[in-house]
């Protein structure tokens, strides 16, 4: 990880869960981290914690609504003017709504698609442009995917979400191919966790907190820090090694 010290990583959805754990881990490794989310109060608290702990890196909170392309472009413009540009882009932000294929709302589908697919694609495009215009040839795009991007679980409320994560699988491999065609050494990786104990289920089942809690009660789940460790592993591999996908589940998870 020494070669990444003092370089800049963008982490989307950094206000909690996996995003916050990844941001903290990168700051511990000495990186400058721009952590973005729609609300930045939690990121500001995490930045203060990192500073008081004496971590060698810095966490910079940035308010950004990832469902709004203008917000994303403004964020990349600010990063360019204040910090030169992005060397690592961690597309972590994602959400699920309980909108089934037979009766779900179009607005719920759009909300998932806009963040899980379009925002990820826009951030990837802008990050790669930032790298290439600065002749950065060892940058890294890491997409926090899901095991739902590799198989479709039976619960109906996860089916559209699974479709967005299958898209992430395809987008990551497509990006790898386009970068090879461009003779770039920028790398593209998916990390696909199973059940991680975060607020994810409580947002999915926001009208049924008991069902949300039950998601995490029947097994020892992954922790956000487990996923953050996978991110550090992927970044720490030598530049000639490209990890395509890290699939990780709780040992007790069945599917």
Tell me the catalytic residues.
161
**Could you tell me if 116 and 161 are in contact, meaning their C-beta atoms sit under 8 angstroms apart?**
yes
> Which residue from 154, 219, 165 is spatially nearest to 191, judged by alpha carbons?
165
- Beta-ladder partners of 91: 143
What sign does the dihedral 25-30-31-34 (CA atoms) show?
positive
Instruction: With CA atoms as reference, report the closest residue to 8 among 65, 74, 84.
Output: 84
d(CA 242, CA 101): 36
Q: How far is CA 255 from CA 17, 101, 115, 165, 194, in A?
A: 22, 21, 25, 16, 9
Buried b vs exposed e over 78-87: b needs ≥16 C-beta within 10 Å?
ebbeeeebbb
CB-based burial, 209-220: b 16+ in 10 Å, e otherwise: eeebeebbeebe
């Amino acid at each position: 990880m020494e070669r990444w010290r003092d370089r800049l990583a963008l982490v989307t959805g950094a206000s909690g869960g996996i995003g916050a754990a990844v941001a903290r881990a990168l700051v511990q490794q000495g990186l400058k981290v721009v952590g973005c989310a729609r609300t930045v109060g939690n990121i500001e608290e995490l930045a203060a914690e990192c500073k008081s702990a004496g971590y060698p890196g810095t966490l910079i909170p940035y308010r950004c609504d990832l469902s709004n392309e203008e917000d994303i472009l403004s964020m990349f413009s600010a990063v360019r003017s204040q910090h030169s540009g992005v060397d690592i882009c961690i597309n972590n932000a994602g959400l699920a709504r309980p909108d089934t294929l037979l009766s779900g709302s179009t607005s719920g589908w759009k909300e998932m698609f806009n963040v899980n697919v379009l925002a990820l694609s826009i951030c990837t495009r802008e990050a790669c442009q930032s790298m290439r215009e600065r002749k950065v040839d060892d940058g890294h795009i890491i997409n926090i995917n899901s095991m739902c991007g590799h198989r479709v679980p039976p619960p109906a409320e996860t089916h559209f979400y699974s479709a967005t994560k299958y898209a992430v699988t395809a987008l990551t491999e497509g990006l790898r191919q386009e970068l090879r065609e461009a003779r770039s050494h920028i790398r593209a990786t998916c990390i696909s966790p199973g059940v991680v104990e975060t607020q994810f289920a409580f947002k999915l089942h926001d009208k049924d907190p008991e069902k949300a809690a039950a998601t995490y009660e029947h097994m020892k789940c992954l922790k956000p820090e487990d996923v953050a460790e996978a991110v550090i592993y992927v970044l720490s591999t030598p530049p000639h090694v490209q990890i395509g996908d890290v699939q990780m589940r709780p040992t007790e998870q069945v599917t």
